[in-house]
Amino acid sequence: MKFIDESKIEVIAGDGGNGAASFRREKYIAKGGPDGGDGGWGGSVFAVADRNINTLVDFRFAKHHRAKNGESGRGADCYGKGADDIFLHMPVGTVITDINTGELIADLALDGEKTLLAQGGKGGLGNLHFKSSTNRTPRQCTPGDEGERRELQLELKVLADVGLLGMPNAGKSTFIRSVSAARPKVADYPFTTLHPNLGVVRVDTEKSFVIADIPGLIEGAAEGAGLGHQFLRHLARTRLLLHLVDVAPMHEGVDPVYEAHAILNELKKYDEALYDKPRWLILNKLDLLPEPDETVAAFLKAFGENTRHFVISAINGQGCKELTYAIMEHLEQVAKQEREAIAESAQESAINVEAD
């Protein structure tokens, strides 16, 4: 399946049916009075988050989604039938924005979450609504309202707890293969990863987290160079970034310290909020170092930033288990802090309500 994480669509809700102007005409019943029914509601368009869908490929060519109109009312107090609503199933993590106004319509972060994209038109009123003591034979009725029409931007931000960041060939795909059941392409040349890969890392029988591997960044990515800038949005929801650095590059002219700083510069240019996320330094390819301790110490001294770091070899799994346990512990602490913040906010709201 081709990975599609952006799309533009148009949604058109159905128009409401027209109300009817009719009078009761039966034998032996004189002046039966108005009996025109209302029109039915037009169909609405909804978006539904579905965890069984991974990309927006269904909306690559299906750009227009139109609900049916409601039926018009008829005589004998017959109301028009409302049209069926239509439901567009989208991946969990889809952000929906109105192209014309820039309004955020929905952020589908939970499986089964449903949101209204376009409201169907209300049906018109039949003439039976206009009868009164002074207007015994009303001939007026109202047309149905038009359904909403919107042009929408769909943007998928994958839901992952941990995101991998690094230059091409830093070993991100190898790492995700080492710690999860995901099987991204691995080769000895850069740009083997062409779209994000997700892997579930199971630390214990009841403890796991999701890790995202995106295409590697290169210098100038924020201005559009390479592939990685197209997928940085997928790191926006992560709670922790792992910055993988190849400390044993294949070419002698490559400076790991320079490349590590280049990645951070591109990240800062792209999004300050993403740059400020918790970030750990992961020094990879330990197995290729003749004197690992000296090389790591020299790198950390030259790198200069005081950040938590781990030394691993993704190809043989050395240090990976300890890293996954540390990640799980960090995520549990973050989740606990979030729960406490929510509980504190709810308590403050309850106090304010009582005060009012």
Band (pLDDT 50/70/90 cuts) for residue 17 is: very high
What span, in angstroms and rounded, lies between the C-alpha atoms of 82 and 70?
A: 5
pLDDT for the residue numbered 144: 92
CB atoms within 10 A of CB 297: 11
Residues 1-156, CATH architecture: Distorted Sandwich (2.70)
Task: Tell whether the torsion through CA atoms of 41, 44, 50 and 54 is positive or negative.
Answer: positive
pLDDT for the residue numbered 226: 46
Q: Are strands 207-213 and 86-91 parallel, antiparallel or unpaired?
A: unpaired
CB atoms within 10 A of CB 272: 9
Asked if residue 333 has pLDDT above 80, the reply is yes
- The residue extents of the domains of the chain are 1-156, 162-340
Rounded mean pLDDT, 192-204 = 70
Output the average pLDDT for the chain: 82
Identify any residues that bridge with 283 across adjacent strands, giving them in sequence order.
245, 311
Both tokens of 96, joined, read 């929906």
Q: What is the pLDDT of residues 34-82, one digit of tens each?
A: 888 899 999 999 999 988 887 788 888 889 999 999 999 988 889 999 9
**Which residue would you say has higher pLDDT here, 222 or 289?**
289
**Which residue would you say has higher pLDDT here, 230 or 194?**
230
Judge if pTM exceeds 0.75: no
Residue type, 44: S
Task: Tell whether the torsion through CA atoms of 166, 169, 171 and 172 is positive or negative.
Answer: positive
Rounded mean pLDDT, 288-303 = 86
Q: How many helices (H) and strands (E) does the chain have?
A: 5, 14
Asked if the domains 1-156 and 162-340 are classified in one and the same CATH topology, the answer is no
Q: Taking a C-beta distance cutoff of 8 angstroms, is the pair 70, 15 a contact?
A: yes
Would you tell me which CATH number, out of the four given (3.30.1300.10, 3.40.50.970, 3.40.50.300, 3.40.190.10), belongs to the domain 162-340? 3.40.50.300
Closest alpha carbon to 148 in 67, 59, 62, 49:
67
Closest alpha carbon to 17 in 152, 91, 158, 120:
120
pLDDT for the residue numbered 60: 81
Q: What DSSP element (H or E) covers 342?
A: helix 320-355
The contacts of residue 14 (CB under 8 Å, 6+ apart) are 41, 42, 43, 44, 66, 67, 68, 69, 70, 83, 120, 121, 147
